[in-house]
Amino acid sequence: MLASIAPAFAQVPVVPPPPPPPMPDILTKYRPVTVDMLKNPSPNDWLQIRRTYDGQAFSPLKQITAANVKDLKPVWIASTGVSNGHQAPPIVNNGVMFVATPGNQVMALEAKTGTMLWRYRLALPEDAIVLHPTSRGVALLDNKVFFAAGHGVLVALDAKTGKEVWKTNVMNNESGYYMSLAPLVADGKVMIGTSGGERGIRGYIAAYDVNTGKESWRVYTVPAPGEKGSETWPHGEEWKTGGGSVWVTGNYDQKTNIAYWGTGNGGPWMGGERPGDNLYTSSTIAIDVGTGQIVGHHQYHPNDSWDWDEVSPPILLDYKRNGKTISGLLDFARDGYMWFLERGDNGKINYVQGQPFVKQNVFKSLDPKTGRPDVDPDRKPAVGKKASFCPSLWGGKDWPPISFSPQTRLVYVPANENLCGRIEGFKVPYKPGQAYTGAISELYIDPPNADHIGEVQAWNVDTGKKVWTHKFETSQNWGPTMVTAGDVVFAGGTNDRKFRAFDAKSGKVLWEQVTNSGITAMPSTFMIDGKQYIAIQSGWGIDSRAMQNRLNMARPGKFPEVPEGGAIWVFALPGK
Amino acid sequence: MEDNTCGCRAAAIDRRAIIQGGLAVGASLAAPGAALGQADPATTRPRPGDYLVKDEDTSKKPLTPADIPLHKTIVSAWAVEPNENIVRKGSRLNGIILVRYENSELTPETLSRAAEGVVAYTQICTHNGCDVTDYIEAERVVQCGCHFTKYDPRDSARIIEGPAPRALPALPLKVENGKLVVAKAYTDRVGFEQA
């Protein structure tokens, strides 16, 4: 029977696969990204998530101005094909755009026209632990595109083809470690951090060789017994599940080769379960990128018990204080305070000034020398003790980054006001990969008839004074900001699906566009053939969606569902 | 009428079987499943006839309705393949939550899946895949601690509020020789949004 079949089968002609289509010119002529380009990028490109290593997200482009932005129009729109929160900026190198989305996807498109070039997706195992399934962007160097896949795999793609050059597993996803950040490339290394602060992880930042993916160093944000800072943990095993997650890309001082990373809350949530300051949770740590050593730190609040991750790193900038120019750091923290710091010698971080930027009732005062908060014990929850506090666990500002204009001397802050929380703790056993918060939380609006929640705030960095505030009456604000030399601030962030342009000096809304979904992504801007473009992803989800739900419980019907699904929008002024 | 002169029809059938089963020419034309080997019982979803054990109970003592306290808490459990007593905990997607109510509190549909007031659902929140572990005693409902979706186990775990896209898949139970036993497979796909 088989013998009579085999010859017939063998006569079936084998059809060779069709040859691949020719590579488009824009890819054959792809311009490799050099170290110098990352340090001194052309204003025409957007090579890193905040354009420059200092995190300022300021563009020198000024074709689009406060006077003409009202004429801005969509030029092209492209669906990403996935849902959930889109947070990454479109990265652009010489006209080639790279966009990271949820679903472990990277898309490459022609920045001018939106023509698809290639698409990469890494399948997620069905039982993967990825509690925040998004990516905050890709990083570029040479001909490579670096991407942190959610389930703990670091990937280097060929920028011309979207094919994997190397791929390495960088964490144990089964124990609750995952990734959502954009990698940081510096000093021949690509760096990532670990998410999973709600799963009993011990957070770390690790660096890998850009060419091979081999691990160069790993630094834990929670020290082991005997290591520097371990005296701030109890003498038991608490450090092993101490938290200190790292899920936003650090900023970098290209002169000193020091990176400034933010760290998350401690694990479990209730500080009473791990008495001590708990370095380096809820801190900014300075890491020498050459050696992987922690050379400085500033902890914003010790023994965190409010889920106040301080992962969003400070920006690097010079500012004036008392007649001096300070080589500084500026952080708008989850804890509701803005922190002016100094980049001291050899990586040390010095406190300069701290003050609230939203209603804050947890700190009674700050130590004038160190900035250490004196915490009101009535505002600190614990196991079996419910406490209410402002701002809520989502903080005065969550992960969405601020931007800074050296022209206006203002920082532009996406804030949430009039939101408070209650937390009560409970004992929780540690099981690898399982929830390890040990807390139940509530959100409430305070006062209940508050006339707004979301804000864009503008503060002068030299005077420390607020210059303007834009208030959103019917929405929270999850919109990262970007500012240009045309004196325009761009941001989304609201549940009305709008992308807005604000006058950088006055805060006046100059232009807005309703999009397909709510925007929580970082904007970018670039120039091709003499034309300036503004790019943004629109796609709601993750925490903005969770907060919208909670607000709708507090004010039924006032915070309805925001439709989801991602799209890349690119705008420009009309004409050639 | 069948044409046997070229053996074409027979070849067509065999080629289809080969393509579907991934078999090499000349190999046995047995069912594809056998060629690929048995699925791992530890990662297979709960099946009718499985009994249940409490999470972390190494004695594998089968759970009974009396082991689930009324109105009190979630009991986390795993299904156990009854012939070789293999605990199906090879995938975290196999985690089960058990809650107990009075029969009178359950909707007719949920009552049809309950065993003496005990209802079973997947532990995996349909939103982002966190474990649903919080029982809110005052409301007798369960909540996911990650983004606060609340499900009502008395009513097919429908969503009361929160960002999850669909109800928790239900695992129908029955009582056999005093033990809680899986009556039918999950009512829906277990898992979460992949984006």
For A262-286, the pLDDT digits (tens) are: 999 999 999 999 999 999 999 999 9
State whether B129 and A101 contact (CB < 8 Å): no
Local mean pLDDT, 10-residue blocks, chain B (195 residues): 38 37 38 54 96 93 98 97 96 96 98 98 93 92 88 97 91 98 96 75
State whether A101 and B6 contact (CB < 8 Å): no
Question: Are residue B27 and residue B60 in the same domain, yes or no?
Answer: no
- Tell me the count of A-B CB pairs closer than 8 A: 84
DSSP A123-142: PPPTT---SS------EEEB
How far is it, in rounded angstroms, from Cα A47 to Cα A405? 18
How far is it, in rounded angstroms, from Cα B154 to Cα A198? 28
User: Is A253 considered catalytic here?
Assistant: no
Listed range (A31-35, A201-205, B191-195) with the worst mean pLDDT:
B191-195
The dihedrals phi and psi of A249, each to the nearest 5 degrees, come to: -65, 135
Q: Which residue has the tokens 């393949």?
A: B81
pLDDT at B194: 66
State yes or no: pLDDT of A25 exceeds 80: yes
State whether B162 and A549 contact (CB < 8 Å): yes
For residue A437, the chain B residues in CB contact (below 8 A) are 145
The answer to whether the beta carbons of residues B45 and B124 sit under 8 Å apart is no
Question: Are residue B76 and residue B21 in the same domain, yes or no?
Answer: no
Q: Which residue has the tokens 């479990």?
A: A268
Q: Which residues 6+ apart lie within 8 Å of B161 measured at CB?
A: A549, A552, A553, B148, B149, B150
pLDDT at A354: 98
Question: Are residue B84 and residue B178 in the same domain, yes or no?
Answer: yes
Find the CB nearest A198 among B11, B146, B193.
Answer: B146
DSSP A18-72: PPPPPPPHHHHT--PBPHHHHHS--TT-B-STTSSTT---EE---SS-TTTGGG-
DSSP B75-111: EEEEEEETTTTEE--SSGGG-EEEEE--GGGS-HHHH
Distance from CA of A372 to the nearest CA of B (A): 30
The answer as to whether B188 is a domain residue is: no
State yes or no: pLDDT of A204 exceeds 90: yes
> H or E element: which one contains A116?
strand A116-121
How far is it, in rounded angstroms, from Cα A221 to Cα A201? 11
pLDDT at A16: 86
pTM of the entire predicted model: 0.89
State whether A101 and B92 contact (CB < 8 Å): no
Distance from CA of B60 to the nearest CA of A (A): 19
How far is it, in rounded angstroms, from Cα A534 to Cα A483? 11
Three-state secondary structure call for residue A289: coil
For residue A102, the chain B residues in CB contact (below 8 A) are 195
State yes or no: pLDDT of A422 exceeds 50: yes
pLDDT at B66: 97
The answer as to whether B42 is a domain residue is: no
Tell the burial category of B175 from Cβ atoms under 10 Å away from its Cβ (0-12, 13-18, 19+): middle
Question: Are residue B10 and residue B66 in the same domain, yes or no?
Answer: no
How far is it, in rounded angstroms, from Cα A223 to Cα A232? 9
Question: Are residue B28 and residue B117 in the same domain, yes or no?
Answer: no
In Å, what is the CA distance from A563 to each residue of A223, A477, A517, A558?
A: 43, 17, 6, 15
Three-state secondary structure call for residue B49: coil
**Mutation for testing the A interface, residue in B126, B128, B190 having most A CBs under 10 Å:** B128
For residue A10, the chain B residues in CB contact (below 8 A) are 25
Question: Are residue B71 and residue B28 in the same domain, yes or no?
Answer: no
State whether A84 and B191 contact (CB < 8 Å): no
Mean pLDDT across A89-100 = 98
**Dihedral sign computed on CA atoms, order A221, A176, B145, A384:** negative
Tell me if chain B has a CB within 8 Å of the CB of A343: no
The answer to whether the beta carbons of residues A184 and A139 sit under 8 Å apart is yes
Tell me if chain B has a CB within 8 Å of the CB of A464: no
Question: Which strands make up the sheet holding A337-343, listed edge to edge?
Answer: A315-321, A324-332, A337-343, A349-356
**Mutation for testing the B interface, residue in A1, A4, A5 having most B CBs under 10 Å:** A5
Find the CB nearest B195 among A4, A131, A133.
Answer: A133
In Å, what is the CA distance from B125 to each residue of A543, B34, B131?
A: 15, 34, 6
pLDDT at B17: 37
Q: Which residue has the tokens 């985690």?
A: B95
State whether B145 and A12 contact (CB < 8 Å): no
State whether B128 and A130 contact (CB < 8 Å): yes
Nearest to B146 by CA among B136, B166, B126, B131: B131
pLDDT at B56: 86
Average pLDDT, chain A: 96
How many helices (H) and strands (E) would you count in chain B?
3, 11
Question: Are residue B70 and residue B150 in the same domain, yes or no?
Answer: yes
For residue A550, the chain B residues in CB contact (below 8 A) are 148
How far is it, in rounded angstroms, from Cα A537 to Cα A524? 10
Find the CB nearest A5 among B10, B129, B195.
Answer: B10
- Provide the token pair at B13: 């059938």
**Dihedral sign computed on CA atoms, order B5, B10, B15, B16:** positive
Q: Chain B: residue nearest A134 by CA?
A: B195
Among the options A45, A288, A304, A307, which is catalytic?
A: A307
Distance from CA of B177 to the nearest CA of A (A): 32
Question: Are residue B29 and residue B90 in the same domain, yes or no?
Answer: no
Q: Chain B: residue nearest A130 by CA?
A: B128
pLDDT at A456: 98
State whether A2 and B26 contact (CB < 8 Å): yes
State yes or no: pLDDT of A401 exceeds 80: yes
The answer as to whether B16 is a domain residue is: yes
Find the CB nearest B14 among A5, A10, A103.
Answer: A5
Q: Which residues pair with A441 in a beta bridge?
A: A423
The answer to whether the beta carbons of residues A312 and A296 sit under 8 Å apart is no
Tens-digit pLDDT profile for residues A366-380: 999 999 999 999 999
Number of domains in chain B: 2
State yes or no: pLDDT of A127 exceeds 90: no
- Side-chain half-sphere CA neighbours of A479 within 13 A: 36
The answer as to whether B104 is a domain residue is: yes
The answer to whether the beta carbons of residues B144 and B154 sit under 8 Å apart is no
State whether B195 and A126 contact (CB < 8 Å): no
pLDDT at A278: 98
Distance from CA of B11 to the nearest CA of A (A): 6
Tell me if chain B has a CB within 8 Å of the CB of A509: no
Mean pLDDT across A444-465 = 98
Question: Are residue B106 and residue B175 in the same domain, yes or no?
Answer: yes
Tell me if chain B has a CB within 8 Å of the CB of A5: yes
pLDDT at B27: 38
How far is it, in rounded angstroms, from Cα B86 to Cα A180? 36
In percent, the amount of chain A with pLDDT more than 90 equals 91
Host domain of residue B175: 51-182
Q: Chain A: residue nearest B90 by CA?
A: A127
Q: Which residues pair with A184 in a beta bridge?
A: A191
**Dihedral sign computed on CA atoms, order B43, B46, B51, B54:** positive
The dihedrals phi and psi of A286, each to the nearest 5 degrees, come to: -100, 125
Neighbours of B19 (CB within 10 A): 9
Tell me if chain B has a CB within 8 Å of the CB of A86: no
DSSP letter at A417? -
Find the CB nearest B161 among A2, A434, A549.
Answer: A549
Distance from CA of A267 to the nearest CA of B (A): 14
pLDDT at B189: 93
State whether B91 and A101 contact (CB < 8 Å): no
Question: Are residue B24 and residue B113 in the same domain, yes or no?
Answer: no
Pairing of strands A189-193, A439-445: unpaired
Question: Are residue B131 and residue B58 in the same domain, yes or no?
Answer: yes
DSSP letter at A396? S
The answer as to whether B75 is a domain residue is: yes
Question: Which strands make up the sheet holding A189-193, listed edge to edge?
Answer: A184-186, A189-193, A204-209, A215-220
In Å, what is the CA distance from A210 to each residue of A33, A118, A207, A229, A271?
A: 13, 22, 9, 30, 38
Indicate which CATH number applies to the domain containing B85: 2.102.10.10
Tens-digit pLDDT profile for residues A341-396: 999 989 999 999 999 999 999 999 999 999 999 999 999 999 999 999 999 999 99
Interface predicted TM-score (ipTM) of this complex, two decimals: 0.71
The answer as to whether B187 is a domain residue is: no
Q: Which residue has the tokens 């009854």?
A: B82
Whole-number CA gyration radius for chain B: 22
Q: Which residues pair with A329 in a beta bridge?
A: A316, A341
The answer as to whether B194 is a domain residue is: no
Nearest to A46 by CA among A403, A332, A316, A288: A403
The A residues from 177 to 206 touching B (CB cutoff 8 Å) are: 198
Q: Chain A: residue nearest B29 by CA?
A: A2
Question: Are residue B81 and residue B142 in the same domain, yes or no?
Answer: yes
State whether A8 and B92 contact (CB < 8 Å): no
Distance from CA of B134 to the nearest CA of A (A): 8
The answer as to whether B190 is a domain residue is: no
State yes or no: pLDDT of A76 exceeds 90: yes
How far is it, in rounded angstroms, from Cα B73 to Cα A312? 37
